[in-house]
Chain A
């Protein structure tokens, strides 16, 4: 018989209590993983930001456009390598619940500045050649079954009318932080139609994306861009892509902060659950531990027995929770409206955090019972009635 077997047998002494404790830990770990995944998904844009990209938007608000004419002026600023732009098109595909990003972009430059959207060169060339074509992400293609040559019909709202785009390319995300659910089409196509139907809105872009040669110069380049358009009809605000993404999240900062906080409160709850179980177990076994000590088991042995049992329960619960978290998170993703979280994956850091939390909980929950057991003399322990 080995000590591990004794730990195992002790842990399963009260099967229902152990099962409920393990289940409690598993549910808490699942909830922790889900909350962390939501928080991570929320910040995925920030995480995916490139250090060498700046975003220039209208100084008053992101919803106001900028003149297309700014493009050439920005390009001439020292340190600027390449400039592209995009417009938030929105529109409705099938119904309003089918939400995904639909962006009018500069076909010539967009994919140079966003290398994380990996497009087959032949498909990219086909896209560039055909004004009413589009490129969609693999996630979107999988979700709606889009293939090359399919036509996607969009009912315009910001840009009214019926719009039809032919799929000429399907981009693959370079890594898991890249949104695979975007639909990108020619800004020029939209602009041409605006010139005919609503000329006052033509020649405008939503925001510029600037690739700079030296990320260390981002502040200086930003200042130069904004200085260029100071006191103009459309003043600009230029910032790093990361700061731009963070600005988007600022409005939801309190909610995200609360979710973040709650994820760690859950760890505290697990700790109390396991701690309670371990305290009850140790108290019930006071006389048994005294017998162990009488037989010659040392303080180290006692620490091993109690810590081992605590770790067994917490790691079992943590492992079960993580195993269940994968389908649980997938189920959650399935029920939230499409497009809310383009990238919704349990990050390795979440798994590491949950796993280490389970280990930490196992250690912390055993501290009080260990201290109590070591402080109780053999004589007092043998007198104890569990």
Chain B
């Protein structure tokens, strides 16, 4: 199977005042297309930084980073933004829905960057909300939804443009067990039924069980754990 993600010798440090804090150290790995990968590790191990690099919202200091056929480390900001809108769907721990927009409008948001007509956008949004089981909550605002429902809207927003890759940062971290199970089941379905490649950062071993592959990070390097 072809690799959809290929990292070679990727390193990343952050600066806090005059102190350099190394976060990732010479990371290399491949993720095949259709994979469901869980990244685990203690706080500060670098898993969210790695996810951000794969998603093109941060840049490596060193190394090459090829995602969906593009060396994203070489793209300028505007090209990278366009690339993200086409290839990546994001699922955040705290949903990050826009509170003044309805579920429908939140899901429609990424489609505003496309050349789709209003009718086509409507079809995409309704499909995405149907996939996550919220077709009857389209006109609800985020504050009118439960945490689990908000996260499902966020997943609908992530898949509405039919991206190549889904990245999820602690998608169940803010949910109760039942809601978390629903979200994990949904991610599993997106992977199996819709063939989406998923990279998920999690602390939750139960969430990691849904993944095909679990990789552990510790102090910026993959561990054998």
Contact = CB atoms under 8 A, between A and B. Distances in A.
Interface of A: 1-3, 6, 9-10, 12-13, 287-288, 291-299, 377-379, 382
A230 B8 CA distance: 100
Contact of B100 (A3, A10, A378, A382): A10
Interface string B108-131: 111011000000000000000000
Given A1-B112, A298-B81, A291 B96 contact: yes
Interface in B61-116: 77-78, 81-82, 84-86, 90, 92, 96, 98-101, 104-105, 108-110, 112-113
Contacts of A10: 100
B57 interface: yes
B209 interface: no
B103 to A, nearest CB: 12
Contacts, number: 62
Given A3-B112, A10-B100, A288-B96, A294 B58 contact: no
Given A12-B100, A298-B78, A377-B58, 11 more contacts: A1-B105, A13-B99, A291-B92, A293-B81, A294-B55, A294-B84, A295-B90, A295-B157, A297-B81, A299-B78, A378-B52
Given A287-B96, A288-B96, A291-B98, A379 B58 contact: yes
Mostly, the B contact residues are helix
A3 B90 CA distance: 21
A13 B100 contact: yes
Given A288-B96, A295-B85, A295-B90, A379 B113 contact: no
Contacts of B57: 293-294, 378-379, 382
A10 B86 CA distance: 26
A378 B85 contact: no
A295 B86 CA distance: 9
Given A13-B100, A379-B52, A382-B92, A296 B105 contact: no
A377 B105 CA distance: 25
Contacts of B86: 296
Contacts of B112: 1-3
A288 B98 contact: yes
Contact of B82 (A1, A288, A291, A296): A296
Nearest to B78: A298
A382 B167 CA distance: 15
Nearest to A285: B98
Contacts of A297: 81, 113
